[in-house]
Amino acid sequence: MAKDKNKKNPIKDEWVIRLIDAAKNVVDGYEKYLLDEIDYTDLAHLMVELRELLPRGCTENLEDDKNEKDKKN
């Protein structure tokens, strides 16, 4: 039997929708930041929301980058 390629994972679909929404919010927020409509703390809040949606491997890479930066200083 062939696998049903039309089966969808509702949890994954919801995550993708939330990820796209968060990414759009960051882009819109960055645009507003460049136009001085919001300050850096508002933009940072949007970016944190996006980062929290990223898979674990992405945030682990962030920690590795911080460690490398600390080693250089």
Which tens digit of pLDDT belongs to each residue from 7-66? Answer: 777 878 899 999 999 999 999 999 999 999 999 999 999 999 999 998 876 766 555 655
In a domain? residue 27:
yes
Between residues 3 and 1, the one the model is more confident about: 3
Domain that holds residue 44: 22-55
Identify whether 3 is part of a domain. no
Binned at pLDDT 50, 70 and 90, residue 67 comes out as low
The answer to whether residue 5 sits within a structural domain is no
Helix, strand and coil in the chain, % to nearest 5:
75, 0, 25
Q: How crowded is residue 33: how many other Cβ atoms within 10 Å of its Cβ?
A: 17
The answer to the question of residue 41 being in a domain is yes
In a domain, residue 63? The reply is: no
Checking if the pLDDT of 1 tops 50, the result is no
Asked, for residue 44, whether it belongs to a domain, the answer is yes
Structurally, how many domains does the chain consist of? 1
pLDDT of residue 55: 86
Would you state the torsion angle of the CA atoms of residues 28, 29, 35, 37, taken in this order, to the nearest 10 degrees? 120
At 24 the pLDDT is 98
